[in-house]
Amino acid sequence: MNHQLSAEDIRQVLHGISIPPQPQILVDLQMEQVMPNPDLRRISQLISKDPGLAGSVLKIVNSSAFGLKNHISSVHQAVQLLGLSTVINILNGISIKSEMDDDTIVQLNRFWDTAIDIAQTCAALAAQLGLRNPDEGYALGLFHNCGIPLLMQRFPQYVEVMENSYAMHEDRIIDVENRLLNTNHAVVGYYVARSWHLPAHLSEVIAEHHNVESIFIADEPYSHDKKRLLAVLKIAEHLCGNHQLLGRQAHDYEWERIELPLLAYMGLSPDQLENLRDDLIDAGQLSA
């Protein structure tokens, strides 16, 4: 069963924070829409590959206008609940506002590419490691860096700041951003996730995803479920080479600081992690 929302309902809910969608995915979605019988499953798959589109859909389905009792994090579930006509109205509204120049697209490609790779790896790891809801792993991977494109839009020098932050041996990535920008992408991402009405524990993990030393080494109070989600995210970032793609760094300094306590918490040895990597590569879920 799905609810019909008016164009005005959609406009009001989507007002405010927005992350630019990938132009090619918008083209693919538009192609699907003009088919004689649009495939809702195909539309759902395309939306789930883009943080901006996925966030907008979840914001609608988790809004008071829709009336769910509990917030959800599954894009596929959200699309099924919304139904084809409402999803198409959402996409049309987003497409109108999504013109970007070539330089912006080139900069954002790094964000888009890492988001989908880490999301897929998080979901696979969550399933392998026995987390209760692999869909939450996917959502966390897709959205954890959603503050980055907003900071790119706000600060022309943000890409340089981001690369410098990954080059620090001792400082946290967010420490560098805080010094130079008076904010950081984890905090911004938390507020974006809140604005999309993601489940509270996912928003909180997004806020803390570069505060890993405090959680796994200093052992700050943190729920077991959130710790496991955070651990899966950091493993996925490392396996996907986030430090190389986003940070342009050969060494993953953050991982070097947190590897042993994080793996110990998850009951994994470095050798077992390498076996997990090999399994994901063999299954086509991770690039070699």
Q: Over the stretch 162-205, which tens digit does the pLDDT of each residue have?
A: 999 999 988 999 999 999 999 999 999 998 888 888 999 999 99
Q: Are residues 106 and 48 in the same domain?
A: no
Domain shared by 241 and 195, yes or no: yes
**Are 171 and 273 in the same domain?**
yes
Residue that the structure tokens 């538009």 belong to: 30
The pLDDT of residue 90: 80
Please check whether residues 28 and 117 belong to one and the same domain: no
The answer to whether the CB of 200 falls within 8 A of the CB of 208 is no
| Same domain, yes or no: 153 and 40 | no
**What's residue 176's pLDDT?**
94
Domain final position from 96, 129, 148: 96
What does the pLDDT read at residue 123? 94
The pLDDT tens digits of the residues spanning 3-30 come to 554 555 545 544 555 688 888 898 898 8
Mean pLDDT of the chain: 87
> Domain boundary residue among 41, 62, 96?
96
Enclosing H/E stretch for 69: none
Beta-carbon contacts of 190 under 8 Å, excluding residues fewer than 6 positions away, are 147, 203, 204, 206, 207
Please tell me the predicted confidence (pLDDT) of residue 197: 86
**Residue 64's pLDDT is what?**
78
pLDDT of residue 45: 94
Determine the Cα–Cα distance for residues 194 and 186; give it in Å rounded to an integer: 12
> Look-up: residue for tokens 């914001």?
59
Are 81 and 184 members of one domain? no
The tokens for 265 are: 């918490």
Q: Is residue 1 part of a domain?
A: no
Verify that 147 and 243 share a domain, yes or no: yes
Helix (H) or strand (E) holding 234: helix 224-239
204 domain-assigned? yes
Same domain as 124, residue 39 = no
C-alpha dihedral, 121 to 123 to 127 to 132, nearest 10° = 150
Of 30-34, 84-88, 203-207, give the range with the top mean pLDDT. 203-207
pTM of the model: 0.84
- Maximum distance among all alpha carbons in the chain? 58
Domain interval for residue 236: 102-282
Are 167 and 199 in a shared domain? Answer: yes
Average pLDDT over residues 230-251: 95
d(CA 119, CA 161): 24
Percent of residues, the chain, with pLDDT higher than 70: 91
Of 73, 96, 119, which marks where a domain is finished? 96
For position 17, what pLDDT does the model report?
57
Q: Is residue 288 part of a domain?
A: no
In contact, 87 and 54? CB cutoff 8 Å: no
Q: Are residues 118 and 78 in the same domain?
A: no
Residues 150 and 191 in one domain: yes
| Helix spans in 23-133 (H) | 23-33, 40-47, 51-61, 75-82, 84-96, 102-128
What pLDDT is attached to residue 96? 52
Q: Is residue 30 part of a domain?
A: yes
Average pLDDT over residues 239-268: 94
Count structural domains, the chain. 2
Residue 286 near residue 239 (C-beta atoms within 8 A) = yes
Determine the residue type at 159: V
Shared domain check, 215 and 111: yes
Mean of pLDDT values over 263-282: 94
